[in-house]
Amino acid sequence: MFKRIFTAIIVACMLMALSGAVAIAAPSDGASVQTGGWQLPWYSRWQPFPVWPGWGGSIYPRTGLGYHLAYVPESNELVLYVYNPTNKPITVSQPSAFMVDFVLWQNGQMVWRTSANKSYAQVVTEETFNPGEGKAYRESLPWLPAGTYFAQAYYLPESKWAPVASSYIWVQAYEPLRYSVEYLAPTWANPNPRLKVTIKNVSDNDITLPYQYGYQVLVKRAGAKEYLPNVGMSQSVGTIEKGATRYVFVNLRNLTPGTYQVDVRSNVAHQGWYSVVAQAWFRVW
């Protein structure tokens, strides 16, 4: 019994020493990891190996390789450059095809990880870097709200215990969805005037957004400052597949004759505020 307790104390001390050596601070854990509406399962931070939102320590590198992490806004990619600054070849190996892991943090919470919910071929993978030679490992980011993120790159042949490169990056706002709105006058088949809103996913990926992110269809008299109450709608976008189009119809009942303005506003590209993404004017007789 005493031996088991003594062993447990030794293991705990080793873990504490390791966490202190790499100079990292772990946020508190909960049932899920979430930031800005994004949610990841709690285990994504611990599998396939644990990560922390710190810069890492100075005990690496050990192989002699050099590392540089960059963000490419044009392609929305993280790129880890691995290079050999020495005058001798360097060969590294990994027992699987899992070579590089990228992690994004915001406000101490993990918001994205390359390896989350992925599996890798269980084959020995080797890389040889000749003197002065380098290689770029690229990973496309998902849609993210505009903001500053802390990025880490882990090169598995080097270490799982600390990132080989880290950097703050700024993700610029962009709108992956395109909106248009048109007025549909009353007809014999449908006596109620309506607005037809068209939403198209113009990105190269399926877009899945948390419920906080969506659009509003608001109506006001032309030239007025305030929108009319009880006219229009507000809705979450949810999921729209790559290249898919969604149509939304808004009934306009009991509007008095006059000229009106409709604004379609979205907060998909921003956190905390809406911007007008489509606009039209129509007249009710």
Q: Which range among 21-30, 52-61, 133-142 shows the weakest confidence by mean pLDDT?
A: 21-30
Residue 5 has pLDDT above 60, yes or no: no
pTM (2 d.p.): 0.61
* Percent of the residues in the chain that have a pLDDT greater than 70, as a whole number: 82
Quote the pLDDT of residue 4: 45
CATH 2.60.40.2360 residue ranges of the chain are 23-171
- Confidence label for 3 from pLDDT (cuts 50, 70 and 90): very low
CATH code of the region 23-171: 2.60.40.2360
Give the model's confidence band at 283: pLDDT under 50 very low, under 70 low, under 90 confident, else very high: very high
Sheet holding 245-251, edge to edge: 177-184, 194-201, 245-251
* 196 Cβ neighbours under 8 A, 6+ residues apart: 181, 182, 183, 184, 247, 248, 249
Q: Can you tell me which residue has the tokens 């360097």?
A: 90
Residue range 217-241, pLDDT digits in tens: 999 999 999 999 989 998 888 888 9
Question: Would you list the DSSP string of 172-238?
Answer: PP---EEEEEEEE---SS--S-EEEEEEEE-SSS-EE--TT-EEEEEEEETT-SSPPTTSEEEEE--
Q: What is the pLDDT of residues 171-209, one digit of tens each?
A: 876 788 899 999 999 998 888 899 999 999 988 778 877
**What pLDDT is recorded for position 58?**
57
CATH 2.60.40.10, the chain: domain bounds: 177-284
- pLDDT over threshold 60, residue 15: no
CATH class of 177-284: mainly beta
Q: What is the mean pLDDT of the chain?
A: 81
pLDDT score, position 271: 63
